[in-house]
Amino acid sequence: MTTPDMFPAGKHQPEIVAFEPTRRAGLERLAKFASRTGAHYAGQRNYDFGSQNRSSVSALSPWIKHRLITEEDVLTQTLAHHSLSASMKFVQEVFWRSYFKGWMEQHPSVWHGYLSDLEIAFEKLEKNRFYKTDYDEAIEGRTGIDCFDHWCEELKTTGYLHNHARMWFASIWIFTLRLPWQLGADFFLSHLIDGDPAANTLSWRWVGGLHTKGKTYLARPSNIAQFTDGRFEPVNQLSSTSMPLVEDIDHPFVPLSSPQPLPQGSYMLLVTSEDCQPETFITGSQVGVLGLVSPGPPTQNTQVHAFAKGAATDATARSGQGTATVSTVQDWSDILIDAAHKAGTNQIVTPMAALGPVATQLALVKGTLKQAGIELHQHQRTYDTLTWPHATKGFFKLKKKIPNLLKDLGFTDV
Ligand SMILES: Cc1cc2nc3c(=O)[nH]c(=O)nc-3n(C[C@H](O)[C@H](O)[C@H](O)COP(=O)(O)OP(=O)(O)OC[C@H]3O[C@@H](n4cnc5c(N)ncnc54)[C@H](O)[C@@H]3O)c2cc1C
C-alpha cells in the first residue's frame, strides 16, 4: 500500500500546472500528485515557489471545485498510495473544503450578507475618490508592496494562487491596505478558477477574525520570506497588528434539508458547472441532457468563465446523449422548458447546487418550471449528505470524524 514519496528533483525544478477543464486532465494531475500526498505534502505544503513550480501542493482545486474530479476520487488515489496516518495532513485539507461547504449551507445569511455588503461597498467606492484610488491600486497591483502586486498579477494571469499567498494577500488587503474584506473576496471570486462561495467567503472571514471570532491571521515579512523561498520580504511595509473585524449580526444556524431520493420515471439531466460528474450518482431513465452555465458578472475573468463552460461541456459530452449542448443564457426558464418538452419528459434532475450563483439560478426558475408542469429535482451526493451535518461549529468537530466518515464512504482499509 505505501509507495515511497516521489520528491520532485528540487524546488527549482519547473512544474507548471495547466488548468484544462476536463476530467481527464484532472485525473492526470491527480495521478501525478497522489504519491506526494504523504510526507512530501506535510513538509512542503506551506511553500509557495510561484507559478512556475507548483510541486509543493496538488493544484487540484479547479477540478475539485467543479467536481470534474470529486473529493472521493482524490481520497481514493491518496489512500491507494499512503496509509491514512501518513496522508492525514492532505486528507484533512480535502475535508476542510467539505467543512466550509457544510458550514455555509447551515449559515446561509453569511452568503446573503456578504452579497448585500458587497453592493454597499461598491456604492461607497463610487462616492469616495480616495477610497476608490486605494481599491484600484490594489486590484491593479500598484500598491508598491512587491509581493502583493506580484500575487495580484499571478492571480489574474493564472487563475490560481497558493493557499499561503491567498492568506498573505487577504491579510494585507484587510490589515495593511484597510480595504473591506468583501471587496477582496469579490476580487478573488472574479479571478480564481476554483472560486467557491463557501471556501472563499469563509476563508476571508477567517483571516479577518469573523469566522473564528476574534482570531485573525497576520501576514509577517519573515514568514513570507521563509515560505516564498526568499522571493519576497516586505520589511516595514505590512501592518504589525491585526484588530479582529466585528459585525453586528449573529448568523443563525439553519438545519440542512433532508436529501430526497431520485424521482421515478424518465428525466432530463441538467448539467451545471457545480458538479461535472453527474453520471456517478444520477442514473436511471435519462432521456436528454442539457448543460447550462451562467454568463457570470462583468468583472469575471474570462478564463474563469471559460473553465466553467469547458467543465460543463466535458460533463455533458460524457453524459452520453448525442445532442448535448451548453448554453450561457441569463434566464434559464425558457431553455429548460423547451429542452424538457423536446426530451418528452416533465422531470429535470440536476446535482444539488450548494449556496452560490447556480443555486440562485435554480431557485429563480423553479416556480416558472412548476407552472409549466415541470418538476426540478436537485439530487445530493452521498459525500455531502455524510459530511455536511458535522460542519456545525469549528473544523475540529468534523476532523475527529474523518476515520468514521471514510468508513461510511466505503474506504474499508482505514
Ligand atoms: C483568502 C482565501 C480564499 C480562498 N478561496 C478559495 C476558493 O475560492 N476556492 C477554493 O477551493 N479554496 C479556496 N481557498 C482555500 C485554499 O487556498 C485552496 O483550496 C487551495 O489553495 C487550493 O490549492 P490546492 O488544490 O493546491 O490545495 P492542496 O493544498 O493541494 O489541497 C487539496 C485540496 O483540498 C482542499 N483545500 C485545501 N486547503 C483548503 C482550505 N484552506 N480550505 C478549503 N479547502 C481546502 C481543496 O479542494 C484542494 O484542492 C481560499 C483560501 C484563502 C486563505
Distance, first Cα to last Cα, the chain: 11
Name the strand (E) or helix (H) holding 376. strand 375-379
Residues 86 and 125 in one domain: no
CB of 196 shorter than 6 A to ligand 1: yes
258/319 Cα distance (integer angstroms): 27
Chunk the chain into consecutive blocks of 10 residues (it has 414) and report each block's average pLDDT, rounded to whole numbers.
42 88 98 98 97 97 98 98 98 98 98 97 95 97 98 98 98 98 98 98 98 96 98 98 96 95 95 95 93 87 94 90 69 94 96 96 95 97 98 96 98 87
CB of 200 shorter than 6 A to ligand 1: yes
Residue nearest to atom 29 of ligand 1 (CA): 57
DSSP-assigned letter for residue 15: B
226/220 Cα distance (integer angstroms): 10
User: Which cell goes with 232?
Assistant: 519576497
**Cell 434559464 sits on residue:** 332
pLDDT of residue 29: 98
Residues 168 and 61 in one domain: no
- Kindly give the number of the ligand 1 atom that is closest to the alpha carbon of 167: 53
User: Which cell goes with 285?
Assistant: 431513465
pLDDT digits (tens, 9 = 90+) for 65-105: 999 999 999 999 999 999 999 999 999 999 999 999 999 99
- Kindly give the number of the ligand 1 atom that is closest to the alpha carbon of 58: 30
Asked whether 90 and 78 are in contact (CB, 8 A), the reply is yes
Residues 220 and 147 in one domain: yes
Number of residues that this document lists for the chain: 414
Residue from 140, 227, 193 nearest 305 by CA: 193
17/29 Cα distance (integer angstroms): 8
CB of 60 shorter than 6 A to ligand 1: yes
Residues 101 and 114 in one domain: no
CB of 192 shorter than 6 A to ligand 1: yes
**CATH of residue 134:** 1.10.579.10
Residues 137 and 159 in one domain: yes
Residues 94 and 187 in one domain: no
CB of 15 shorter than 6 A to ligand 1: no
How many domains are contained in the chain?
3
- Kindly give the number of the ligand 1 atom that is closest to the alpha carbon of 204: 1
CB of 201 shorter than 6 A to ligand 1: no
**CATH of residue 45:** 1.25.40
Asked whether 321 and 270 are in contact (CB, 8 A), the reply is no
217/208 Cα distance (integer angstroms): 7
Q: Which amino acid is at 206?
A: W
pLDDT digits (tens, 9 = 90+) for 302-347: 999 999 999 999 999 988 764 556 787 888 999 999 999 999 999 9
User: Which cell goes with 252?
Assistant: 443563525
208/137 Cα distance (integer angstroms): 21
Residue nearest to atom 3 of ligand 1 (CA): 200
The Å distance, Cα 163 to ligand 1 centre, comes to: 6
Find the Cα–Cα–Cα–Cα dihedral 106, 110, 113, 118, rounded to 10°: -140
| Residue 248 maps to a domain | no
pLDDT digits (tens, 9 = 90+) for 103-132: 999 999 999 999 999 999 999 999 999 999
Kindly provide the b/e burial profile for residues 155-169, where b requires at least 16 CB atoms within 10 angstroms of the residue's own CB: bbebbbbbbbbbbbb
- Which domain covers residue 68, as residue numbers? 23-105+387-408
**Cell 476536463 sits on residue:** 22
CB of 166 shorter than 6 A to ligand 1: yes
Asked whether 95 and 411 are in contact (CB, 8 A), the reply is no
Q: What is the pTM of this model?
A: 0.96
Mutate to test the pocket of ligand 1, among 33, 47, 163 (most ligand atoms within 8 A of CB): 163
- Kindly give the number of the ligand 1 atom that is closest to the alpha carbon of 169: 1
Residues 133 and 167 in one domain: yes
Asked whether 241 and 250 are in contact (CB, 8 A), the reply is no
CB of 70 shorter than 6 A to ligand 1: no
CB of 55 shorter than 6 A to ligand 1: no
125/119 Cα distance (integer angstroms): 10
322/211 Cα distance (integer angstroms): 46
Residues 276 and 362 in one domain: yes
The Å distance, Cα 198 to ligand 1 centre, comes to: 11
| Residue 235 maps to a domain | no
397 phi and psi, to 5 degrees? -60, -45
Residues 207 and 290 in one domain: no
Name the strand (E) or helix (H) holding 362. helix 357-371
CB of 277 shorter than 6 A to ligand 1: no
User: Which cell goes with 87?
Assistant: 496522508
- Kindly give the number of the ligand 1 atom that is closest to the alpha carbon of 162: 21
Q: Which amino acid is at 121?
A: A
CB of 199 shorter than 6 A to ligand 1: yes
| Residue 258 maps to a domain | no
CB of 66 shorter than 6 A to ligand 1: no
